[in-house]
Every structure is written in C-alpha cells, then in structure tokens.
Structure 1
Amino acid sequence: MSKLMLRHKAKKIDHVAIAVLDLEQAIGYFSMMGFTLSDRMTTTGAHSAMHSAVMEAGPIKFVLLEGANETSQITRFINEYGPGPQHIAIEVENVESLCKELEKQGLDFSTKTIKGPELIQRFTVRCPNSGVMIEFIERNEEEGFSEQNVEDLFRQLEASDAY
C-alpha cells in the first residue's frame, strides 16, 4: 500500500487534545467562544494523574488536559514541549489494519491497540519536531470517551515511560 493510505482511510479529525497549565482557566477561555463543557474526568495511573475536560462546539471537540502532579504525563509533556496540542485523534474505519500498514512503512507506536466497548485506539510515538502524537480511533457509534480506554492508555504510557 502506498504512503498515501491515510488519505483514503481517514474519516475526520475526531478531537484535538490540548495540554493546559490551568484547566479551569482553559475551560473559561473556550466557554467564552461558545464551547460547552460536555464531560470531565480524572485519570490516575501508578505514577501519574491528569484532569480532563471535553469542550464541544458543533462538530469540533477539544479535550483539555491538565497534569495533576509533577510526575503526570501531561506535566512532563508541558515541561518538554510547552502547553498546546498534545495529540490529534483521526477517526478511521479499521485501526488495526491501518496501523499494521503504517508499521510496515516504518511508523512507530507508543501503545498497543486499546480496545473498549465504544472505541478502539492506538497512539503513535511523538513527532520529534512538534511533540504531537497521532491517535487513530475507531468508534462504535458513540461519541464519548471510555474511562477504561483512558486508564489503559495511561498504564501503557507509564510502562514505557512515555508521555
């Protein structure tokens, strides 16, 4: 398969995750523009924790991420790359098939496939130039996020000391 495969496999940008210094301040900022807060979550791993907020405006979805402590993956990301886009999720039809093809092309991944009842995900390694990860996501009609998937992601990233 050619290197143009994503052109034919991508459905849309599902969401953009943004690492922020202050979650409440970021919620206020996006609310001023008309985004609404649709979900909040706190995720805790063995060594790391984060608070997140999903902000939506029509079809646009931003997930705001704040590190809960100094060892948080999000805090470490901000210390390395600064606040801003942490990952971009691209919805595709078949995560596992696409990722197999991308691995054959030489793309490395930070996680194994994460499977939950509502969605399937896999995250690339960070782009060394921008710090951004790409998440490939396959949804089963649901638009939300599975706490189980987020916790699995956290565990996988902690195990490899990735952030």
Structure 2
Amino acid sequence: MKYKLLLTAILLTTIQNLVAQELPYETNVADSIKVSTLDIKNQKAADKAGLEKQLKQDKSALVVQEGLEKDRKKAENKLKKEQRQVEKDQNKLDKAQKKFDNKQKKLASAEKSVAKNQKKMARATKDLNKMEAKFEKLKSRGKLTAVNVEKWNVKISKQKLKISRIQEDIYNSQDKLDKLR
C-alpha cells in the first residue's frame, strides 16, 4: 500500500504539472512579450518614419534656403553691377563736363586774346598816325635835318613793323578762335 500511495502521488503530481503548463495566463505572458516587442518595433518604425520626414523637411528647407541665398547673391551682384555702371556713367558725365568747361575757358581766352590784339593794333595805328603827322609837321616847318629825317623814317618803319607783327598775332588768334568754335 505504500507503493500505491506513492505511485498515486507521483501520478497526481505529473498530471498537475501537465495541466499547469497549459494554463492560459502563461500564454498571455508570452503574448504580452510579443506585443511589447511589436510595440517597440512599431515605435521604432514610427520614429524612423518621423526622422525621415524631418530629414526630408530639413533638406527641403535647406534647398529653399540655398535658393534664397543664391537669389540674394544674384541681387547683390546685380546691384553692384548697376552701381558700377552708375559710377562709370557719372565719371563719363564729369569728364564731358570738364571737357566742355575747358573748351569754354579756351574759347574765352582766345576771344580775350583777339580783343587784346585788336586794342594793341588800334593803339599802334593811332601812334603811327601821330608819328606821321608830327613828322609831316616838322618836315613842313623845315626844322629837320637829313639825320633827323632818317631817324623819323626808322621810327615810322619800326612802328609799321610792330603793326605787321600785331596783325599776324590777330590773324593767329582769330584762326585759333575759329578752330575752337
């Protein structure tokens, strides 16, 4: 009887172990591990998708920013080019203004020179007329000697030579004035 009892105890323990392994709560534990693993995988996939989406957004923002930077640089270069052109045009205008002013100064100077030479001519002609009148007066009175007559002739010749030089100066000044106009 001892053996029967022992055998029955072993049999009951074995059955209990077999039944105990088939309990549903152990299955739930295994499923919860699978579910948590799936949840972690799903979380990783969602994080990866979010990171990829963020990366795409960052790339597109970077492309847009690079485009804006490129446009800004183009605008700056265009502005610099326009400024250089404006400066160039201003320099040309200044140069043309200087040239015009210089031409006006030269023209005024040439006109002044012509007027000055004409005044000289008028004075020299007046002096020549006075000399000739005085010479004729002295000659008609008979107060001149042959030497004095020659001196007066030399004086009159010098004055005529001076007048011819002044005429050349007038001609040259007038020619210069005509060229400037």
TM-score, normalised with respect to structure 2: 0.18
Q: Which of these two proteins has the greater Rg computed from alpha carbons? A: 2
Structure with bigger helix share is: 2
Structure with bigger strand share is: 1
Higher RCO (Cα < 8 Å, 6 or more apart): 2
